[in-house]
Copies of this chain bind each other. A is one copy, B any other.
Amino acid sequence: MKAAIIAVGDELVLGQTVDTNSAWLSARLVAVGIMPTYHLTVADDLDAIAGAIVAASAKAGLVVVTGGLGPTKDDLTRDAIAKALDTGMELHVPSLERIEAFFRRVGRPMSDSNRLQAMCPVGAKMLDNDCGTAPGIEARFEPARVFALPGVPVATASMFERHILPSLSGRPGRVIRTGVLRTFGAGESTIGQMLGDLMKRDRNPVVGTTVSGGVVGVRIRSDFPSADLADAAMAETEALVRESLGDFVYGRGEETLQDAVAGLLKRVGRKVVTAESCTGGLLSKFLTDVPGASEFFSGGWVCYSNRLKVEQLGVRGESLAEHGAVSEAVALEMAAGAIERSGADYALALTGIAGPGGGTPQKPVGTVWIALACAAGAGGGGMPRAKAALFMFPWTRELVRDRAAKTALNILRLELLRSAAG
C-alpha cells in the first residue's frame, strides 16, 4: 500500500517550525511495509487542506494528515474534511464529554472554542486523544482511508500507535517485526563491512544502517506469513548482527550510551564521577539525563582553569608546566584526583581543545585526552588502575565536545563489560 502525508499549519509553511511529524510517520509506515510517496505541507487554509486531501486520496490508499485540529479559528482540518466529503458537521457527544473531563482534571475552565473540537464531519469517526483535547478523525474516501491527527508531536505519535498502526494489516497474511540495535565506536562504513552479507537487499529479515550523532543504528525488518516465523527470524538475525559487531553494540531501540552505562553501573552497584575540561559539563549532563542518576553518579568537577585543576583535583603544577593542560599526565591526574576526592569507583576525565581557537600544530583543534581511573576493588582488581588515550575529533566545537563526551561514556562501558566478563 502507498501512503501520502499531509502537514497543516501556517507556522510550518512560513518556516517558523520544522515539521518532524511527517518524517516520524513515514519511518513508522516504512517499518510496517507501507511506502510513503510524498509529503505535502499546506497553510491553515480551508481550500488548500481540502484540495490536498482529495488529491492525496486519489493517489494513495492511506492518507495521514497532522495539525489543524486545535480549538482556534485557524484550525480548519475538521472543516476541510467535511468540505472534501461534501458533508456537514455534527456534535460528537463522547468527544465533548472527554474534553469536559480533561478540563475538570486540570482544573481550568473550558472555553466555547474547545466545544468546536467535538464537532465531527458527518460520516467520519472520531479518535480519542489521551494527550490533549483534540480528537482525531478517520474518514473514508473510497478506496482510500484518511486519518487526521493533532500536530503536537507527542499526540501525533501516541494516536498513530493507538488508532492507525493496529488497523494497518500491511499485505494480507504477512506479519512484520522491526527493531534497531545501537552501536558506538565505529563508523557506518566499518559497521557495513562487518555486517557483510547480512546487509544484502534481498535478505529477509532485511538489515540496514543509519547514523545520527555518532551512533550507528542497525535496523532489522522481518516480514513473514506468521508472527512465530517473523519473531524467530528477527531473533536469529539480531543474534547474527550481535555476533558480527561484538561490543560495538551497546543497546537497542531508543537506548542511549548513558542508558547503557547507567544499566551496567547499577548492575554492579558502582558509582562514577567526572572531571571535565574541554567538554565543560557535557559528560555529567549526559549521565544525569538518566532519571535516578544519583544511584550511579556522585558528581563531577568542571575544571576549565588550571588553577581549579590544581586546587580542586590535585593536578601537579609540574605536569601542567611540562606537558600542558591537554596531555596524558594531566588527564590521568584529573581522574585520579576525582576518585580520591569522591570515593567513587570510577572516574572519567577529559582535557582537550574544543576550538575554534587554541589549536597548535602539535595539538590541533579536536585533540582530546580521555582518562579512566578505577578505584581499588572496582572491577575486581585489587589495585587502583588508570589509563588514558588520545583522540582526534577534527570538527566543530559542538561536535568535538559531543563526540568526546560520548567516547568517554563508551570507554567506561567497555571497561564495565570487561570486568563483568573477567
Measured CB to CB, the residues of A under 8 A from B are 12-20, 22-30, 35-43, 48, 210, 274, 276, 279-285, 287-289, 291-294, 297-305, 307-308, 311-312, 341-343, 354-357, 397-398, 401
Contact = CB atoms under 8 A, between A and B. Distances in A.
A44 to B, nearest CB: 12
20 contacts: A12-B23, A15-B22, A15-B27, A15-B28, A15-B36, A18-B20, A38-B43, A274-B302, A279-B285, A280-B293, A281-B288, A281-B300, A282-B285, A291-B356, A291-B357, A292-B357, A293-B304, A298-B305, A300-B302, A312-B312
Main secondary structure, interface of A, reads mixed
Nearest to A312: B341
B285 A281 contact: yes
Contacts of A29: 15
Given A304-B288, A342-B308, A357-B292, A26 B38 contact: no
Given A301-B301, A308-B299, A39 B40 contact: yes
Contacts of A289: 280, 397-398
B43 A40 contact: no
A15 B19 contact: no
A298 B20 CA distance: 38
A285 B280 contact: yes
A25 B30 contact: no
Given A38-B40, A284-B280, A304 B297 contact: yes
Contacts of A342: 307-308
Contacts of A303: 299
A343 B283 CA distance: 25
Given A281-B300, A299-B304, A36 B19 contact: no
A398 B285 CA distance: 10
Contacts of A15: 22-30, 36
A307 B22 CA distance: 48
B311 A341 contact: yes
A12 B39 contact: yes
Contacts of A304: 288, 293-294, 297-299
A256 to B, nearest CB: 12
B23 A291 contact: no
A398 B290 CA distance: 10
Tell me which of A15, A22, A300 has the highest count of chain B C-beta atoms within 10 A of its own C-beta: A15
B13 A17 contact: no
Nearest to A43: B37
Given A23-B18, A356-B291, A281 B307 contact: no
Contacts of A18: 18-20, 23
A19 B19 contact: yes
Contacts of A13: 26, 36-39
Contacts of A297: 280, 304
Contacts of A43: 37-38
